[in-house]
Amino acid sequence: MSKVSSLLEIFGLVKVSPGGSKQNRKSPHNRVVRGSFSSVVSHMSNSTSLICKCRYVAATISLTAVLAFLISPTMASAQTGSSGNSDAGKDKTTPSGPILRDGWGTPVTNALKPGEKPGPAPRHDISGTWEPARGPGDGIQAFGPRDMPSDGKPGHEPPFTAFGLETYRAHKPLEGEERVLESLSNDPRNICDPMGFPRADFYQFRHTQIMQDEHKVAVLYEFEKRWRVIWIDGRELPKDIPEPRYYGYSVGKWADDNTLVVNTIGIEGESKMWLDEAGRPVSDGVHVEERFHRVDRNNMELTVTIDDPKMYTKPWVAMNKFPMRLETPDYDVVEMMCIPSEEEQYYKDYGDPASGVDSKQRK
Amino acid sequence: MKAKFLVIFALAGSLVASIPLLAHHGNAAFDVGKRVTVKGTVTEWVWANPHCWLKFDAKDDKGNVAHWVAETNNAPDMIERGWSKNTFKPGDEVTVTVEPVKSGNPVGRVVGVVLANGQALGMSYLEKK
């Protein structure tokens, strides 16, 4: 049984979050779910009830796990030339499992106690440390914005202008429909150039610390440890942009007690930035609207709309009510940096051999 | 008999295909769905960006040593999966299952690792207490 347990754990099949199946069935990517078990469920026929599916899948998993593990030494031997069976798993003493810790090393707890209901949202206040409510994978958005992923499905292609399409074609992304080999990408992120805004919302959108006073809201992104300021002191967006910025110029106004509408212009644009991980373009003429709607004390939804006439024929919604939940006030966010020297080492050790190229061929 | 094994492989494939993938790059370099299990000795565990990667040596029957490089996700992601900078040290015996690259080099991305003491490290996120 320990062998089977090990196998299931390796393959990510034993850590199933309660209710995960229902949530995960809504997710377009297997990559972004917490439990792989539910992904298997999502692939099942819709003609039977979920309970029946679970039973069927559980039986399938059990059978397959046993059979696969029994034959695994043969597979390993065939593929590696190794002659012996693995002795891993012989030790029956399983150490206690790891627990989730924050950047400070403190065990992470839910902001709500078991059975506790969220209180009402405070008025004109979106401060706190927020995380994607469906788990960290939901904010990665490797295929592009959550509600417009580059996955070839109908309705998921933004309405490119001719120039937008031309710019898109010049990009060599690592993800999405136009993806290329590891070392052949020209994504400015590969050399740790700043992603800027709005890509900060669309890629590695993880723990996000929001701090505010009566004048401004500061958004602190986990990825790259970048931050931006949204002015809420009543000022208007600048008529003439002093100089373009990676994170643009943002002003926010309260649409109601619990919804902050943020408008941003004045970004660097196409010469230095991409819109998303899939290589969609963004221009210096883009106008981005974000709606931070605090549903209650512990939950917030973010909707982001792109209006970029240079690149897209009409505005489109990139993230629609993206759910975020509040962490405990003492949650310490880990460092997630882009470090040029580590990137270089990564490509040397891994990216180039993975791509079958040498460093001279690298883009 | 052959048909039975085909069924087994198809079922195993349906399981492993649901493993969370990496975010830094796509599938272009990988032999998607293929799995290779290798037993070896850790030479280096690089806790770095954009992804962490494990270097280990594996010998075949003839004594030839393959220098494997297998990547995981980024450090914050691995922390949320219960891994750490101290998960491996040089000399550790490990059994690593990877999705290999198409190029034929001993390179792949980690699906799971079993340590010498039998502890299995997977790629699923941990839950809060």
Domain boundaries, chain A: 2-80, 128-326
pLDDT digits (tens, 9 = 90+) for A125-177: 999 999 999 987 899 999 999 999 999 999 999 999 999 999 999 999 999 99
Per-residue pLDDT for A59 more than 50? no
Work out the mean pLDDT of chain A and round it to a whole number.
Answer: 79
> What's the rounded mean pLDDT across residues A83-107?
61
| CA-based nearest distance B81→chain A, Å | 7
Which residues of B fall within a CB distance of 8 Å from A37? 18
Cβ separation A11–B125 shorter than 8 A: no
Say how far apart CA A139 and CA A34 lie, in whole Å.
12
Of A43, A95, A355, the CB nearest to B119: A95
Which residue does chain B place closest to A72, by CA atoms? Answer: B37
Other C-beta atoms closer than 10 Å to the C-beta of A9 total 20
Cβ separation A356–B104 shorter than 8 A: yes
Say how far apart CA A203 and CA A195 lie, in whole Å.
9
Per-residue pLDDT for A70 more than 50? no
Tell me the angle at which helices A2-10 and A50-80 cross, rounded to the nearest 10 degrees: 90
Cβ separation B62–A81 shorter than 8 A: yes
Q: What CATH homologous superfamily does B2-121 map to?
A: Nucleic acid-binding proteins (2.40.50.140)
Per-residue pLDDT for A312 more than 60? yes
pLDDT for res A330? 97
Which residues of A fall within a CB distance of 8 Å from B127? 15, 17, 34, 100
pLDDT for res A354? 86
- Torsion angle, CA of A146/A151/A152/A154, rounded to 10 degrees? -30
Q: A140-174 in b/e burial notation, b at 16+ Cβ within 10 A? A: bbbbbbbbbbbeeeeebbbebbeebeebbeebbbb
Classify A146 as helix, strand or coil: coil
Which of B2, B18, B30 would best serve as a mutation to test chain A binding (most A beta carbons within 10 A)?
A: B18
Per-residue pLDDT for A331 more than 60? yes
**ipTM score assigned to the predicted complex:** 0.78
Q: Kindly state the percentage of chain B with pLDDT values over 90.
A: 57
Of B20, B104, B117, the CB nearest to A31: B20
pLDDT digits (tens, 9 = 90+) for B27-72: 778 888 999 999 999 999 999 988 999 999 999 888 999 999 999 9
